[in-house]
Amino acid sequence: MPSIDDVTDAPDELSDDEAESLFEEADEVQDMMGEVCPYPQVEAKKGLQDLDEGDLLVQETDHVPCTENVPRAVGDDADARVWRSGDGVYRIYLEKQ
Amino acid sequence: MSGDVDTVDPEAVRERIDAGDDDFDLVDIREGDAYEDGHVPGAEHLTVDELEDVVAERDWSEEVVVYCYVGQTSVQAARLVEEYGNADAVASMDGGYEAWAEDVEPLANAD
């Protein structure tokens, strides 16, 4: 069946192990479940402002378009990667640059 | 995504609506309560989930315009219609309903 995931241009994907270990080291975690654009974009940009270079911000979301729109919104401020749970939960990993 | 979907300016959408041109599908993908609070005249409401369900079977108009809150998720939704639907031209409305409500609708009310 057609899925918005098919046409969403998300960044490189993390393996389950990578995602789990990085998640435990995250400097900030934002729960964006149930939120839709543009709120997650705004929160990601705000969150990154308070972090130092190399720090990691992770957003958890169930809104697939965010996996493309949030990394695009933060632009060069962060290196982005994504993790897909396989059952509708996604995490966006933003490492501050 | 190489060669991303087209975008259309909210002012251009208004001009078509004002000219009585309903030869295109106008789809609002925001949440239901946002749509109830206010939407572009003639827009039908389909959430992203509903769009996924109907996009392949539905007989679309030749032209489709999709809008969301600020014109970002509508890009992915327009890609979905372009990929799976039978429309000839699909566009995302730049700036979404926010741009419509701030820039276009006041003008419409002033006419």
Q: How far is CA B94 from CA A19, A38, A92, B86, in A?
A: 34, 14, 25, 22
Q: Mean pLDDT over all residues of chain B?
A: 92
What is the predicted pLDDT for the residue at B88?
A: 95
Please list every residue in chain A whose beta carbon sits closer than 8 Å to the beta carbon of residue B70: 37-38
Give the phi and the psi of residue B59 in degrees, each rounded to 5: -90, 100
What is this model's ipTM? 0.89
Q: What is the pLDDT of residues B29-67, one digit of tens each?
A: 999 999 999 999 999 999 999 999 999 999 999 999 999
* Inter-chain CB proximity B52 and A65 less than 8 Å: no
pTM: 0.91
Q: What is the pLDDT of residue B108?
A: 57
- A39 CB-contact burial (10 Å; exposed 0-12 / middle 13-18 / buried 19+): middle
Q: Which residue has the tokens 């109830």?
A: B36
Q: Which of B31, B55, B69 sits opposite A2 (nearest CB)?
A: B55
| Domain spans, chain B | 6-103
CATH superfamily, domain at B6-103: Rhodanese-like domain (3.40.250.10)
Q: Is the pLDDT of residue B110 over 70?
A: no
Residues of A in contact with B76 (CB under 8 A): 4, 7-8, 64-65, 68-69
What whole-number distance in Å separates Cα of residue B59 and Cα of residue A32?
34
Chain B residues near residue A65 by CB distance under 8 angstroms: 48, 72-73, 75-77
Q: Which residues pair with B66 in a beta bridge?
A: B27, B92
CB B51 within 8 A of CB B74: no
Q: What's the whole-number mean pLDDT along residues A65-86?
A: 97
Instruction: Please report, for residues A74, B6, B66, B103, the alpha-carbon distance to residue B9 in angstroms, rounded to integers and kept in the order given.
Output: 24, 10, 11, 11
